[in-house]
Amino acid sequence: MPMSSCDISSDKLETYTQGLQGLATEGRLRRLVPRSGLDFSSNDYLGLAQAPRIKRAVAAAMEAGTPVGAGGSRLLRGNCEEHERLEAEAARFFGAEGALFFGSGYVANFAVLTTLPQRDDLVVLDRLVHASTHEGARAGRAEMCQFNHNDPQSAHDAILAWRRDGGVGRPWIAVESLYSMDGDLAPLDDLVALGKQEDWASIYWITAESNVTAQSLYDRYNKRDEFYRYSIAL
């Protein structure tokens, strides 16, 4: 049954009430408001949400019978021909064997990090990777640790310490190719050099490309390069 307001005593809410009051005092209390004015704060960098071309495409898809909602997971009844065509086109564009689309970058990061790294593995995160990467790593089965931002030696030291303590699985190094908050780039060349000090078959890479396009990663590292073979671009 839904919980009514009378089911929660006021003293149990006091902690939350004080927290909200503290945010209001600091001018940091947020409220939902309708959209208005020019957009300088969303993730719709290219203005696609209101693009006439996108609106026409959506209307045409609805007219052709594409369902408005998934109705369930893709494994049950939520998979559509449009999904598969989009993923096949993305795979061709990126020169990859396959592509898988998610509803958001958060879900993509969370899904990868709770699925692929196994119980004996280690996920090594740059301290400034997106919060969804941290959330996924914490929720996953593998052990996790952080390394200093854009510091390959710090990442290497973390892996060596884990090995000395008996770590026997695979390290997964997670970075962002471009960090949106500070605008700096990951030192991919140095990280690749780091990886070549280890057994390549035992290191996997997760490179978040949400602020650029994964094509930049694939253009930079030839398919024959070991980095490409053992990397996942999100």
Residues 101 and 11: their CA atoms lie apart, in Å, by: 45
Tally of domains within the chain: 1
Mean of the pLDDT values across residues 138-146?
95
Judged on CB neighbours under 10 Å (0-12, 13-18, 19+), 14 is exposed
In the block, which residue shows the tokens 């026409």? 56
Higher pLDDT, 91 or 193: 91
Residue 88 covered by a domain: no
pTM of the entire predicted model: 0.76
Does 126 reside within a domain? Answer: yes
Q: Cα–Cα distance between 189 and 143 in angstroms, integer?
A: 25
What is the structure's pLDDT at 224? 44
Whether residue 84 has pLDDT greater than 90: yes
Residues sharing a CB contact under 8 Å with residue 229, sequence separation 6 or more, in sequence order: 200, 223
Residues 198-208 have a mean pLDDT of 65
Residue 53 lies in a domain: no
Residue 31 has pLDDT above 70, yes or no: yes
Task: Give the model's pLDDT for residue 228.
Answer: 46
Q: Of 4-8, 38-42, 103-107, 170-174, which one has max mean pLDDT?
A: 170-174
Q: Return the beta strands (E) in 86-220 as ranges.
A: 122-126, 143-147, 171-176, 204-208
63 falls within a domain: no
- Residue 49 counted as domain residue: no
Residue 85 lies in a domain: no
- Of the two residues 59 and 10, the one the predictor is more confident about is 59
Among 206, 188, 41, 213, residue whose Cα is nearest residue 108: 206
Check which CATH number belongs to the domain holding 196 and give it: 3.40.640.10
Residue 164 forms part of a structural domain: yes
| Parent domain of 157 | 105-233
Over 50: is that where the pLDDT of 200 sits?
no
Is 170 part of any domain? yes
Banded pLDDT at 213 (limits 50, 70, 90):
low
Give the pLDDT confidence score for residue 119 in this predicted structure.
Answer: 93
